[in-house]
Amino acid sequence: MNAAIIGVGHHVPDNVVTNKDLEKVMETSDEWIKERSGIKERRFGDAIEESSSRMGYKAALMALQNAKIDKHDIDLIIFSTLNPDYFFPGCGVLLQRDLELKEIPALDIRQQCSGFVYGLSVAKAYINSGMYKNILFVCSEQQSAMLDLTTRGRNISVLFGDGAGAVVISATIEDKGILSTHLYSEGAFAEELTLKYLQGKGTVEEKDDNLPFMNGPLVFKHAVLRFSQAINEGLIVNNLKPENLDLFIPHQANLRISEFIQKKLNLTDNQVYNNIEKYGNTTSASIPIALSEANKKGKVKPGDMVCFAAFGSGFTWGSAFVKW
């Protein structure tokens, strides 16, 4: 059995927050943000109405419709998020409840920006083993509620946004599906991109630990190196060259990282899909949101060779190669 992506969907909040809007609440500028990251705007949703599980639910409905599959045929939910609705339980069971599904298992993963490629690996393993036939995999991130929208927090807050993406992954005997995944981690750098405490859980002295922290230059340096490592391994394993890729969708962390990798692989603009200018960094949701958009625009066709790659907190990183 092969594990194939048969449906895609996404959801983003209606509330658009431009760089000009951020200029009103912190010392920053539209030009500075675009130069640093390529981001022009992002979406901020209501922390309750647009929670991670609620946005995931909307993305899941679109993916199920796109897959033309009855929701009751789903036999496993995988849910990736760094900001679940509750400390526990995870969002997987909340989605199972909202979809009114039977008592199927729900699995939550916390791999932050690498969540999508890690989740694809899990789904592929389950389907290849014959344990499950139809898996609903959702990545959803409600991040705006934990951002410091002041000058103190601008180095991180201007980069992130809210959104959700979803895919339906099913067993098939056709010549298509997830060919390989390549996963890595290096916990030695765990504190270089972190949120140590949930809001209100630290002491007065540790109040800065209630906010996300990122060592930007170090993360950028490792990202460009690790992206290349994971992609090159996948190319070798699948006997491919960069020119054989019909579409490359990188995690939308920073347009400058994507441009660096594109240049290093000598890929054309038609081979790469970026949408960070509209949504900012939506963490694990960024690749499936971009995939859903690319699919709607007809940029993914049967037989196409597609590569996903991500790098993020942990550090964790990886790639996935898919024959559409």
45-52's contacts with Cβ under 8 Å and 24+ in sequence apart are 45/12, 45/13, 45/15, 45/142, 45/144, 45/162, 46/13, 47/142, 47/144, 47/145, 50/13, 50/142, 50/162, 51/85, 51/142, 52/81, 52/83, 52/84, 52/85, 52/91, 52/140, 52/141, 52/142, 52/164
Quote the tokens at residue 127: 């389907």
Distance CA 139, CA 158 (A): 21
Query: Would you call 307 a catalytic residue per the annotation?
Result: no
- Identify the active-site residue in 19, 66, 274, 281: 281
Please pick, among 19, 83, 113, 134, the residue that the annotation labels catalytic: 113
Our answer to whether residue 113 is catalytic in this structure is yes
Identified catalytic residue from 10, 11, 222, 251:
251
Torsional sign, CA 125, 127, 131, 137: positive
Q: Please give the backbone phi and psi of residue 285, each rounded to the nearest 5 degrees, phi first.
A: -80, -10
Q: Which residue, among 262, 287, 265, 235, has the nearest Cα to 119 in the 3D structure?
A: 287
Burial tier of 5 (Cβ tally within 10 Å: 0-12, 13-18, 19+) = buried
Residue 149 burial (10 A CB sphere; 0-12, 13-18, 19+): middle
91 in catalytic set: no
65 three-state secondary structure: helix
Q: Which residues are catalytic?
A: 113, 251, 281
